Structure 1
């Protein structure tokens, strides 16, 4: 079974975690001078755990937030979801259309925090690691947290980005290593966001130093480039092993190499499960110089604890999971600005196809049709309308059921894709009596037991679970509470039959959903496999006509509906609340959400 969390195309929202039990130093907000003297504290719901947020086990919003502040990148999204150039770090340009060639050029200001220039070795390592093109095995052993434990001497980078897989050949590199030109094997619609958004990849010289004992930075970079160019299995296996897990941490690491970044902030304190402190770098030469000297992120899963901390002045910015009680509490605090809107995350239920459970054909002697009928009956029982009416509408009286796996409600292609998929006509708002008939027609001998995984301690998910269980049990299922504090680490384990969580977008790329539904995709935790879907995503990668792109996604979603992949529920209502002394907070609807312009924050 495949284990992991998320790809760069999605994020986990509102995960469970240990309650905060202490206050970090400098926890309160001091009045800043607008020039690097201010401090701000933020509360988040899940502790940070890796500087490399590109593996299947670590690609989580909580990691992405910190990595974003500690690293520069070629591009970033603003609050209007417009892609902005970060030219102080470098530039990206298409230099040929047929074949597609893209050139990345680093500026002289692009440097790691230890003074080493950012250059070709770092970008080539990012491509090699995240493309999957250099892996010599897919059978790596994982630990209980989903991290790669042993690849048996083979090369296994724990990542797979389909767009990067289209780059087959080693790139052209300028003599000074500042210009890198990749050639694609076929056209690719989202080339502009490949290797450009979010972060600058892992520092190749640090990876080599720790993986293959190469101390000198320049020699280390050359060793990485040589290993990739020659496809040196022995060296690449060591590099991949460290790349996969070497940057994981739950507190301040003894090895300071792990904290080397290319961006304006550096980590100075990290108390396990409690808080993480970032401070502005004096030697940062890029354009994103922060006005705040210190940003501390406190961790607590309880949304009401976040509200209380904001009211008490312990933190100045929160993004708690929204419920009617939370909204009412926030609105009752003086001196607080509240921004409420639909967020980038949407709630959904996915089913597991390959664990010998109630939705796996193997449980019925390989009878695909019977397993599909059971899946459809369970999905029909889910009271989507009641969930939205009881849980979401108190926060947003205009809330509706989200009817698409790939499109945000209100986006240009939403209605087209929904119509093509047939999801509304198939499942409507949920129907217990119809689900009961469907299950009877499937002819199962006894009530199918469905273990439903979700975040333990998450108030809204607990409410959703109760509504789902009540309805599904009436339809003839036995729904088992499989809530877990470490639910995100258990995705893909096969130790559950259905999962309830949220996807959060990290870009506007048309191929963003590829890894969710493709066979073996990094986000395809339930083992869903369909040749037609795989072929459609192959076509989508090279399709540049927006009209045809929408048609392809409509066709993908029709297969998902017809095969009983899962069901969509609602778009998250988001609450971003902050002290009115904290200026320039501008939430946006893709990761890193409210952190995207942290350098503009000031007290």
Structure 2
């Protein structure tokens, strides 16, 4: 029997990660591990980094996995609401002025190699996420490989640079003073330079400090390695910090199972046990995990299936049990013909958009360094045609244009923002107006190379529509599509415009801002506007909800008037799973289907 449900409601969602509901409780479950149990899920992009806090690794394909293998102080359920993960540790607001927070890891929290999680891990996380100890004024742009997006071998060995995108005006970047380590050895106290409205969201799951120090400094003993981390940070020892930062940036990047198994040291309910390049990654229940979110299923394999129709076929053939493919009309039709599955559809927390690359010293020859050309190109994007031909066949009239860079349709502030910005100027294609602007710009080389996922059928169709429309106005749109598009985002000179989705990970009001603040981790097109930066600084310390909306409405107006790029639509979301597995309760926030993977259970049908 097939069960189909539809959900179209959206909450106001915040923090963004590159994308590739029935309310539940906090996710804790006491049903216990079923030895020998296994299921297979599918995702449309391959994993490539266990560090989702770098500009290179910050992608849904990575963070789906990292969410399950790296534990932290909180997470979002599918209500959605923030859940404090007290079985990992606690955080306490000990002072409001100055804003002071103490993080403490529980005594029974250990890494998968048995090493306790403690202050060394928290201190390394602070150093990376704050960048307070970085070499001043260093620009890594000249040391980034345009073919892969990774740092090159020429990267200076004596430079301290954590690639977290932190800025001094926001988030953990506001903690410039080295934290104080508690006498228990499991806690640190952070003192913020000024109040920060989303202070409870700044501390993500840490990576194993002892592994970083062992690899970076050539230390063999775990305890000695952790002490070396503390000594380097508390002493601001650049000679030791530089190699540790370098390893933190790149050492956890791998596209198949690493020979060095210490690189997959985990703290969450699962750990990586097998990884075949571009095929699958397998997670096995972590025997050292002592938290509340203990796994029910011993082994979860995630197959990488970029083609959504192939994912549907794999579900029908019993090769996978859970899929959440990019939705198309063909997908919904194909799912209707499969028995023994449950299908849910609706609007998700991801939105499609096009970013245009700015100059700002990183792309001096980029065509979009000219604002007239940016405006002209935006006038050619067939937003409504994309929605009408590719999205409406999936979810009907609920498919609408998204007219805000900051607000989700239906959220408080969205209508005001859409009415106040210039998005209406791009509701319909204006080829004549675009051609006039292009001529006025004086630009003679009108080539625009667009980066997108070349193995994603919907993106291929979107690119074709954009190419046809823009070429009519005099542009020469060329194909920068790549299967490795995620790693190329933000690489200077690799492309001119990018077509992809931002997926929301948080309800925090400030956490979409690293996309637009100068130098932010998600600022992949080198956009910079002092007025926007000023608004972001004000938002960081604004606790009044009405004032937050007012500031964001003004910021949204500036983004459109700067010709930042265009938003297109909110993603239609389709989740389907077989009757072999239960407790699948998708969230609109990343990691969507994976948010409660520890609660998944195999059913009696799995044994038949």
TM-score (ref. length: structure 1) = 0.90
1:13 equivalent to 2:19? Answer yes
SS at match of 2:190: strand
Aligned equivalents of 2:366, 2:67: Cα separation in 1: 41
CA gap of 1:445–1:584, structure 2 versus 1, over 3 A, is: closer
Deviation of 1:37 (Å):
4.2
The answer to whether the Cα contact below 8 Å between 1:36 and 1:280 also exists between their aligned partners in 2 is no
Deviation of 1:260 (Å):
1.0
Residue aligning to 1:142: 144
- 1:68-467 alignment to 2 at 5 Å? 68-136=67-135, 138-140=138-140, 141-143=143-145, 144-149=147-152, 150-161=155-166, 162-196=170-204, 200-354=205-359, 355-357=363-365, 359-361=367-369, 371-397=370-396, 398-424=398-424, 426-440=425-439, 442-444=440-442, 446=444, 448-467=446-465
Residue aligning to 1:368: none
Please point out which of 480, 486, 504 is paired with 2:478.
480
SS at match of 1:333: coil
Deviation of 1:400 (Å):
0.5
Aligned equivalents of 1:95, 1:531: Cα separation in 2: 33
SS at match of 1:394: helix
1:566 equivalent to 2:589? Answer no
Residue aligning to 1:67: 66
- 1:476-515 alignment to 2 at 5 Å? 476-493=474-491, 494-515=493-514
The answer to whether the Cα contact below 8 Å between 2:157 and 2:242 also exists between their aligned partners in 1 is no
Aligned equivalents of 1:570, 1:545: Cα separation in 2: 29
SS at match of 2:233: helix
CA gap of 1:183–1:216, structure 2 versus 1, over 3 A, is: same
Deviation of 1:336 (Å):
0.8
SS at match of 1:133: coil
Deviation of 1:560 (Å):
1.1
SS at match of 2:449: strand
Aligned equivalents of 2:15, 2:133: Cα separation in 1: 21
The answer to whether the Cα contact below 8 Å between 2:368 and 2:496 also exists between their aligned partners in 1 is no
Aligned equivalents of 2:444, 2:179: Cα separation in 1: 58
CA gap of 1:495–1:253, structure 2 versus 1, over 3 A, is: closer
Deviation of 1:443 (Å):
4.8
Per-residue CA deviations over 1:447-487 (Å, capped at 9, x if unaligned) read 72221121112211111112112221222222222222222
Deviation of 1:420 (Å):
2.8
Higher alpha-carbon deviation: 276-285 or 299-308: 276-285
The answer to whether the Cα contact below 8 Å between 1:251 and 1:272 also exists between their aligned partners in 2 is yes
The answer to whether the Cα contact below 8 Å between 1:358 and 1:448 also exists between their aligned partners in 2 is no
RMSD: 1.8
Residue aligning to 2:579: 580
Aligned equivalents of 2:466, 2:242: Cα separation in 1: 45
Aligned equivalents of 1:160, 1:94: Cα separation in 2: 25
Aligned equivalents of 1:264, 1:50: Cα separation in 2: 18
Aligned equivalents of 1:222, 1:358: Cα separation in 2: 46
Deviation of 1:179 (Å):
2.4
Residue aligning to 1:26: none
Deviation of 1:343 (Å):
1.2
The answer to whether the Cα contact below 8 Å between 2:126 and 2:172 also exists between their aligned partners in 1 is yes
The answer to whether the Cα contact below 8 Å between 2:42 and 2:323 also exists between their aligned partners in 1 is yes
The answer to whether the Cα contact below 8 Å between 1:148 and 1:158 also exists between their aligned partners in 2 is no
The answer to whether the Cα contact below 8 Å between 2:109 and 2:289 also exists between their aligned partners in 1 is no
Aligned equivalents of 1:170, 1:113: Cα separation in 2: 28
Per-residue CA deviations over 1:256-299 (Å, capped at 9, x if unaligned) read 21111111112221111111111112332111111101101111
Gaps of 5+ in 2: 1-13, 21-30, 603-608
Aligned equivalents of 2:99, 2:499: Cα separation in 1: 40
The answer to whether the Cα contact below 8 Å between 2:68 and 2:268 also exists between their aligned partners in 1 is yes
Aligned equivalents of 2:15, 2:510: Cα separation in 1: 9
Aligned equivalents of 1:467, 1:62: Cα separation in 2: 26
CA gap of 1:358–1:381, structure 2 versus 1, over 3 A, is: farther
TM-score (ref. length: structure 2) = 0.90
SS at match of 2:54: coil
Aligned equivalents of 2:515, 2:295: Cα separation in 1: 35
Residue aligning to 2:7: none
The answer to whether the Cα contact below 8 Å between 1:403 and 1:568 also exists between their aligned partners in 2 is yes
